[in-house]
Amino acid sequence: MGSGLHALRIAAGIVLWAVHFALVYGSTAFACARGAAAAVPWIIGSATVVAALLAAAIAAVEWRRREAFESWLASGLAAVAFFAIVFEGVPVLFLAPCA
């Protein structure tokens, strides 16, 4: 169904953000509760880099088709997701894990 595919494309950035958010939050809670603090920066760091690159790629691909409103929206949402992912991942550079 065409509309289902469109909905998925519009939501791609959002889904990526949600997966990243759940992953960094869930894995940090798990690692801190089970005494694996050392792993936290690596998990968050790699998840953030991968998710941010994917979000940027979605934004770029959709931007090329931006005459269509749905693609413009998909691109914009992926761009917002990119900034949110980076913004939420940055604290790992400054804070001690599990403190």
Calpha distance 35→58 (Å, rounded): 36
CB of 53 to other proteins, least distance (A): 19
| HSE, side-chain direction, 13 A CA sphere, residue 24 | 25
d(CA 48, CA 5): 26
Q: Min. distance of Cβ 86 from other proteins in angstroms? A: 9
Site for other proteins in 28-87 (CB under 8 A): 28-30, 32-33, 40, 44, 69-70, 72-73, 76-77, 80-81, 83-84, 87
Q: Applying CB under 8 A, what is the total number of residues that bind other proteins?
A: 38
1 three-state secondary structure: coil
- The least CB distance from residue 32 to other proteins, in Å, is 5
Residues making contact with other proteins (CB under 8 A)? 1-3, 6, 14, 17-18, 21, 24-26, 28-30, 32-33, 40, 44, 69-70, 72-73, 76-77, 80-81, 83-84, 87-88, 90-92, 95-99
